[in-house]
């Protein structure tokens, strides 16, 4: 870049010529343990039951308190278990669409399992109690948490929350692969 006219310059100084940036070694490879990619270099959607990788997943923890007043748990269920399962389902939905999670992802997860229904079917409550028990303790119950997420098929995940609510009202079993 040229210097302003008022800056003194020496007539013997020669202007600098272009110099290319330094050469970097080999191309980048996903060789670190946390980078889950397939052979083609794209994110692996299954990744050997390691969840569903996606961008900005921690944002869902900020959204979760917004729906807590609407969540209905029965005796024998814990809100923390319901929230942990719903968060995992919402993250699966967000990563399926290749984006960060939004409130509708979490709402759909709650609707599918009937947590936004004030009077859910007794069979659904029994299934929820059996499947969601202890999933808040992910370190000890990760297979159980994955089973909760895997019980929601991709066809259900692709529904809008309104479509899922209609299907849940008609027949809640149609939304789950039990």
Q: Tell me, what's the pLDDT at 51? A: 63
Burial (Cβ within 10 Å: 0-12, 13-18, ≥19) of residue 168: buried
User: Helices 103-112 and 59-67: crossing angle, nearest 10°?
Assistant: 60
Would you give per-residue pLDDT tens digits along the chain (178 residues)? 677 888 887 777 777 777 777 777 677 666 666 665 666 655 555 555 666 677 888 899 999 999 999 999 999 899 999 999 999 999 999 988 889 999 999 999 999 999 999 999 999 999 999 999 999 987 788 889 999 999 999 999 999 999 999 999 999 999 999 8
Q: Tell me, what's the pLDDT at 87? A: 95
Which sequence spans correspond to the domains of the chain? Answer: 59-65+72-175
105-107-112 Cα angle (round to 5): 100
Whole-structure pTM value: 0.72
Q: Tell me, what's the pLDDT at 17? A: 76
């Amino acid at each position: 870049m040229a210097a302003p006219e008022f800056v003194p310059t020496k007539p013997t100084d020669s202007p600098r010529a272009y110099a290319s940036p330094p050469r970097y070694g080999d191309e980048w490879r996903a060789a670190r343990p946390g980078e889950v990619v397939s052979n083609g270099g794209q994110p692996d959607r299954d990744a050997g039951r390691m969840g569903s990788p996606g961008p900005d997943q921690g944002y869902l923890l900020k959204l979760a308190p917004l729906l807590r007043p609407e969540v209905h748990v029965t005796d024998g269920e814990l809100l923390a278990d319901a929230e942990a399962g719903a968060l995992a389902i919402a993250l699966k939905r967000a990563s399926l669409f290749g984006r960060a999670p939004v409130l509708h992802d979490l709402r759909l997860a709650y609707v599918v399992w009937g947590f936004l229904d004030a009077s859910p079917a007794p069979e659904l409550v029994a299934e929820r109690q059996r499947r969601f028990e202890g999933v808040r303790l992910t370190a000890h119950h990760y297979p159980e948490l994955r089973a909760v997420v895997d019980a929601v098929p991709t066809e259900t995940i692709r529904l809008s929350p309104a479509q899922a609510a209609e299907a849940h009202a008609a027949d809640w079993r149609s939304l789950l692969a039990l």
